[in-house]
């Protein structure tokens, strides 16, 4: 600019008759080029529209990640490719990791739901918690009781590990009145495993509840005879329950626990299984979180299925459309008593079921 002043002043004095030299035009051109170049880079760095510039691979993705906060425990319906790991051949598999942080943090695939010769010894905290569920006056040596029991039944788990080529579909059938009129019978019968609880009659209710059963979960006071192709799964609440099952399958000495029980039980001995108290407490600690004195039998069966099946579908849980908690085979004028006993927290368990469904680990058929 200092060099331009004399030229401009001189030009004015001569009435515009002095023409600018080549040096002035070169200087003006240089200034214009610098200005335009600066403007170009300024707009480019701000992501201006209309400019095509190359970015390194993944740059746009990394920029988005930084702008989106990360929420611990958030539900991920579509996990990143690095976390996708199929554990079965079903469309959605219980064992697939990376779908729900909440589920992955609480799910222990290594704990066996069946009490066997290999896990006879209970951890001390499990044992003392379990024996206080239904305290007994007459103590029994649990090791001796189990030793005698495993002389009558196989005492091993028939369930293998996850198989990417398998799709084992399981129906967990509860006893809710919402099954009545739902017409789920054929759907239920189409599963590989069909798990029922306590009384659960099927004769006369085939259209709604199905006719097939592969696993029947009962405790001594609710036990009944089963067909030879059905696995009897004992849910023990005390050592006397183990004494009873041994007796009911052999000598028939036990006729009473805290209530009359079957003296003899007609079931296939080779298919008898015993629910593992350590698995019982695992559900109480990790899933129902100590709500209620202990989980309901329905919750025990549901998580049993979540540990042995690839796909789990749930029927007959919760209230019916009128809010009643009666059984599908009866008109219970005391409907709702299950929610009032204080032993189980039905409302909290219902929340767990809803959360499992939201995480894609189970499908709930709501019934009528």
**Residue list for the binding site for substrate:** 134, 175, 198, 258, 294, 298, 318, 327, 344
Neighbours of 194 (CB within 10 A): 24
Contact 239, 137 (CB under 8 A): no
Q: Give me the catalytic one of 215, 284, 326, 344.
A: 344
Which region, left, alpha or beta, applies to residue 289 given φ > 0 means left and ψ of -120 to 50 means alpha? left
DSSP string, 308-362: H-SEEEEES-S--TTS---BTTS--TTTTGGGTSSSB-HHHHHHHHHHHHHTTS-
Active site residue 344: yes
Q: Which residue has the tokens 């025990």?
A: 300
Report helix, strand or coil for 20. coil
Exposure string over 61-100, b if 16+ CB within 10 A, otherwise e = eeeeeeeeeeeeeeeeeeeeeeeeeebbebeebbbbbbbb
Extract the tokens encoding 263: 């003296």
CB 200 within 8 A of CB 182: no
Q: Following CA atoms 35, 38, 43, 49 in sequence, which dihedral angle do they give, to the nearest 10 degrees? A: 70
Active site residue 212: no
Distance between CA 149 and CA 349 in Å, rounded? Answer: 32
Give the active site residue among 294, 307, 326, 328: 294
**Residues with active-site annotation:** 294, 344
């Amino acid at each position: 600019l200092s060099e331009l002043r004399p030229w401009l002043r001189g030009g004015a004095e001569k009435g515009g008759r002095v023409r600018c030299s080549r040096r002035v035009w070169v200087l003006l051109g240089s200034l214009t080029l610098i200005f335009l170049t600066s403007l170009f880079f300024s707009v480019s760095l701000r992501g201006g529209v209309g400019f095509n510039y190359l970015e390194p691979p993944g740059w746009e993705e990394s920029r988005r990640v930084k702008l989106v906060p990360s929420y611990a425990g958030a539900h991920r319906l579509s996990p990143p490719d690095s976390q996708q790991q199929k554990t079965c051949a079903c469309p959605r598999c219980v064992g697939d990791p990376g779908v729900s942080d909440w589920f992955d943090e609480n799910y222990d695939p290594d704990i066996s739901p069946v009490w066997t010769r290999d896990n006879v010894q209970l951890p001390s905290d499990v044992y003392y918690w379990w024996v206080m569920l239904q305290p007994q006056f007459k103590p029994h040596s649990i090791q001796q009781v189990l030793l005698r029991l495993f002389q009558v039944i196989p005492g091993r788990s028939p369930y293998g590990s996850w198989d990417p080529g398998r799709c084992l579909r399981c129906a967990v059938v509860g006893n809710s009145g919402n099954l009545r009129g739902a017409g789920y019978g054929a759907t239920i019968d189409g599963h590989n495993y069909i798990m029922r609880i306590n009384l659960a009659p099927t004769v006369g209710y085939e259209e709604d509840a199905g006719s097939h059963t592969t696993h029947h979960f009962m405790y001594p006071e609710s036990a009944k005879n089963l067909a030879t192709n059905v696995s009897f799964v004992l849910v023990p609440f005390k050592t006397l329950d183990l004494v009873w099952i041994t007796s009911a399958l052999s000598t028939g000495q036990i006729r009473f626990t805290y209530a009359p029980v079957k003296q003899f039980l007609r079931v296939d001995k080779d298919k008898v299984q015993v629910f593992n108290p350590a698995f019982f407490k695992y559900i109480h600690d990790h899933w129902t979180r100590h709500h209620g004195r202990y989980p309901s039998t329905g919750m025990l069966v549901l998580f049993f299925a979540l540990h042995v099946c690839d796909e789990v579908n749930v029927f007959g849980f919760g209230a019916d459309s009128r809010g009643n908690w009666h059984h599908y085979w009866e008109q219970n004028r005391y409907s709702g008593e299950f929610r009032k006993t204080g032993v189980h927290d039905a409302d909290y368990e219902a929340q767990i079921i809803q959360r499992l469904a939201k995480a894609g680990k189970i499908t709930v058929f709501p019934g009528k």
